[in-house]
Structure 1
Amino acid sequence: MDCRIRWARSRRTAWFCLALAATALPSAVALSQEGPGLTQIFDGKLLPDAQVQSFSRSETLFPTRLVPAHGRARPVPDSARSLDGLSIASEGRSYDLFDYLSMNRVAGIMVLKDGERVFEDYELGTRPETRWPSMSMAAAITSTLVGAAIEEGLIARIDDPLTRYLPELAGTSYDGVTVRQLLMMSSGVKWNERLSDPASDRRAMMALQAGQEPGSILRYVASRPRAAEPGTVWVYSSGETQMLGALVAAATGRDLAAYLSDTIWSPAGMEADAAWWLESPGGLEMGGIGLAARLRDYARFGQFILEDGVIDGRRILPEGWVRQAGSVQEVGGRSVAFGYMWWPLSEGSDFDADGAFAAIGAFGQYIYVNPRRRVVIVLLGSQSKPEGSWPIDETDFLEAVARHLD
């Protein structure tokens, strides 16, 4: 995909490529590969209210599986801190909180410091009970389930070959690819993520999702040719997020939704069920998109990550997993600002020592985690375009909030 996002820094200019995942479609828009529905969505041609309505009921657009939240919701105490007087410096101008929320079309925001609620707000007609689509943030949640499976011994080693768990990949381009290489999107399998190209792999994957044929997406991804040796190049591939979901399901013998519920969602005290799109009725969850959850529960997930994958003293993720998942990786001798489906944010900035990283989705979805400053920020957005349409740089906002709370 050629969706380039420029994050300007005083000491650097970095380019990252975010996944533009298939998004919610209003009922009047046909779900088809070539029809006007996709043109409206990915050219940003939906009117603002139609887009918000679409996102607010995204779980009705495809078959879903619930992620149950069993037990009592974990309380989030209020903090004595506030965002009063917040100043955001971006692109040579200064903004305040009201500017940011309005200009960047934020539908929901929650800020935690040391696990306490500093700020929570709902806009654009959303409410605390609204389940909002994750977009590509779901990929980071799926990758976290890989960590949980490793901690449980269901995946023996991160450098195991995928064929140990998915033997049907033998003889395909994924034969010889390891779990780690899949997490880092360095499989070497050829993939074209460019949504503007009608012949791209991403467009084909979207059409297969619309077709709802069991296993069709995985068969397509596995059929792609190899472009490089595993571990030598980095290419963003939405196909590999689906392959990652298949890995978790095969290794655990569980649906992703059930495994997420039992390992994280319920133990971490989420307040409500989430819903996860399926590739077909009763089939595999979409590993890189389609989770819909409440703002507060996205924030609880971020806090779980901030607390190093430990819940009530019980380790859910391997020690060191969170740090590695959110760090710059080396692929083929080059540094790549991509971890285990999380995006490192602080490298080369004044926040270099913070080790901040985020799960990021199209149209302004963020789960931001700053380990050193003990800050979690969730942004649920309804921006006009899948990428590049924010007036105020989101990373500037996130870092300004983290600095303000010191």
Structure 2
Amino acid sequence: MTSSRTTPTLRDLAVFTGRPQHQNFCRMAEMLPSRTMAPSSRPSTLPEGEPSGLPPAYRFEGTTRSTSAFLSDTDTAALLVLVDGRVRHEHYALSGGPDVPWMSMSVAKSFVSALVGIALDEGHIPSLDAAVSDFVPVRPGSAYDGVCVRDVLRMSSGARWTEDYSDPRSEVFRLVQESESGGSLAEFVASMEREYEPGTVCRYNSADTVVLGLLVSRATGRGLADYMREKLCEPLGMVSPGHWLVDSRGIELAYYGLNLTARDYARLGELYRNGGVWQGIRVLPAEWVTDSVTVGSPHCEPGRVLGGQGPLGYGYQWWIPEGDRGEFSAIGVYNQYVYVDPAGATTIVKLSANRTFGTSPDEATNRERETLTLLRAIAAHNT
């Protein structure tokens, strides 16, 4: 159900200004227009494993740093560690809690990718070579005209874009303003300009995920929340209600607007860790999972992603750290993570409200590379 009440906007919340946000990120679905997804009719509790602590310290940029200090400094509201599908560590702070739905930010992109894979498997999308403009109306010659689904999944549409949260003049700020001011996300992406030849440059671009969300809705004839409720919430046994924020036209904000509990976020990581199977039931094709978390083109390799953070490559709306360990992660601003280390059978969820995020483009405030370093240390500590 979509709320129509008068609500504050992200600008009213002063995001990316240094203002604390932990009291907001735990109740975004109450504050902003949203659509609710009921929990599964067959909810499944994550099994408990032998409790394990966290490493007291980790190494980053040549120095030893305190784990507890980092979690506090980045306003961590939830930290959940699963090994072999069992909960080994679970901690909540600030306004977080086991039943608290938290703002996904761009972690939502990986859920949208899963829905694209399901729609493809069901035949709603004929192939990844199909043009997104066959489903999503765009202006002739504009950024997404004739661009194939695969290139949009890889953030390789070629659309002109700047994803700079410290610059209020950037395209990502314009996208947010459009969704809050009565404009249409569909109209926004329909008129975007092309900068690169599609499939040649990987540039992180939230509008690409907006297009994927519209693609799923147009191809299936269903809203994103409705489709996700049936195809992910139900089979994954999600225990708590989930929510998608919507724009002023009632369209789900595919690029950042998901709200779930830490345990329900972890279910997507576990689904991908197990090759698309959840508790013996296939939810996603194995080939889709493999392709999603593999760098499939040289321009998506670590270090070549424009707007990326350090040594990370890109798959189908999943980040892929450099190295041969096979890790992958969903990542959102303010330090939201669903990190998966298949070699260590580990899935880690970190939900945060790092108040310094976006106040500059620097690692010193955003702390994305450092977060990944800590998550790797936690995975090594627990395996």
- After TM superposition, the score normalised by the length of structure 1 is 0.83
Instruction: Tell me the CA shift for residue 102 of structure 1.
Output: 2.2
Matches within 5 A, 1:129-208: 129-168=99-138, 171-208=141-178
Instruction: Tell me the CA shift for residue 294 of structure 1.
Output: 0.8
For residues 333 and 210 of structure 1, what CA distance do their matches in structure 2 show?
32
The counterpart of 1:243, out of the listed 190, 211, 224, is 211
Q: Is the counterpart of residue 108 in structure 1 residue 75 in structure 2?
A: no
The counterpart of 2:291, out of the listed 303, 309, 324, is 324
The counterpart of 2:202, out of the listed 234, 245, 248, is 234
For residues 274 and 299 of structure 2, what CA distance do their matches in structure 1 show?
31
Which segment drifts farther, 111-120 or 324-333?
324-333
For residues 28 and 300 of structure 2, what CA distance do their matches in structure 1 show?
40
| Cα distance, 1:185–1:236 mapped onto 2, change above 3 Å | same
Q: Is the counterpart of residue 285 in structure 1 residue 252 in structure 2?
A: yes
Instruction: Tell me the CA shift for residue 136 of structure 1.
Output: 0.9
Which segment drifts farther, 303-312 or 173-182?
303-312
Q: Is the counterpart of residue 271 in structure 1 residue 226 in structure 2?
A: no
Describe the SS at the equivalent of 2:142. coil
For residues 325 and 317 of structure 2, what CA distance do their matches in structure 1 show?
19
Matches within 5 A, 1:390-405: 393-405=370-382
Say if 1:134 and 1:289, in contact at 8 Å, map to a contact too.
Answer: yes
| Cα distance, 1:370–1:32 mapped onto 2, change above 3 Å | closer
For residues 99 and 10 of structure 2, what CA distance do their matches in structure 1 show?
30
Partner residue in 2 for 1:43: 17
Instruction: Tell me the CA shift for residue 332 of structure 1.
Output: 5.3
* Structure 1: 5+ residue stretches without partners: 1-26
Partner residue in 1 for 2:9: 31
Partner residue in 1 for 2:265: 298
Say if 1:355 and 1:370, in contact at 8 Å, map to a contact too.
Answer: yes
- After TM superposition, the score normalised by the length of structure 2 is 0.87
For residues 390 and 196 of structure 1, what CA distance do their matches in structure 2 show?
11
For residues 315 and 161 of structure 1, what CA distance do their matches in structure 2 show?
27
Which segment drifts farther, 160-169 or 241-250?
160-169
| Cα distance, 1:402–1:84 mapped onto 2, change above 3 Å | closer
For residues 61 and 212 of structure 1, what CA distance do their matches in structure 2 show?
17
Q: Is the counterpart of residue 381 in structure 1 residue 352 in structure 2?
A: yes
For residues 271 and 81 of structure 1, what CA distance do their matches in structure 2 show?
22
For residues 36 and 111 of structure 2, what CA distance do their matches in structure 1 show?
15
Q: Is the counterpart of residue 368 in structure 1 residue 362 in structure 2?
A: no
| CA deviation map 1:88-139 (0-9, x unaligned) | 2222233454333223321101000000000011101322111110011111
Instruction: Tell me the CA shift for residue 84 of structure 1.
Output: 5.5
Describe the SS at the equivalent of 1:153. coil
For residues 133 and 54 of structure 2, what CA distance do their matches in structure 1 show?
53
Q: Is the counterpart of residue 70 in structure 1 residue 65 in structure 2?
A: no
For residues 138 and 227 of structure 2, what CA distance do their matches in structure 1 show?
22
Describe the SS at the equivalent of 1:393. helix
| Cα distance, 1:333–1:370 mapped onto 2, change above 3 Å | closer
Say if 1:163 and 1:170, in contact at 8 Å, map to a contact too.
Answer: no
The counterpart of 1:261, out of the listed 222, 229, 243, is 229
Instruction: Tell me the CA shift for residue 343 of structure 1.
Output: 0.7
Percent identity between the two aligned chains: 36
| CA deviation map 1:199-218 (0-9, x unaligned) | 432222111111134xx222
Describe the SS at the equivalent of 1:297. helix
For residues 178 and 171 of structure 2, what CA distance do their matches in structure 1 show?
10
Partner residue in 1 for 2:309: none
The counterpart of 2:276, out of the listed 306, 309, 312, is 309
Say if 1:190 and 1:226, in contact at 8 Å, map to a contact too.
Answer: yes
How many residues get paired? Answer: 362
Describe the SS at the equivalent of 1:144. helix
Which segment drifts farther, 115-124 or 222-231?
222-231
For residues 325 and 37 of structure 2, what CA distance do their matches in structure 1 show?
32
| CA deviation map 1:336-367 (0-9, x unaligned) | 4111111112x1xxxx2321111111111000
Structure 1 vs Structure 2 CA RMSD: 2.3
For residues 56 and 44 of structure 2, what CA distance do their matches in structure 1 show?
28
For residues 218 and 202 of structure 2, what CA distance do their matches in structure 1 show?
25
| CA deviation map 1:52-89 (0-9, x unaligned) | 11111111232111122121321211112512655422
Say if 1:176 and 1:230, in contact at 8 Å, map to a contact too.
Answer: no
For residues 116 and 194 of structure 1, what CA distance do their matches in structure 2 show?
37
| Cα distance, 1:79–1:207 mapped onto 2, change above 3 Å | same
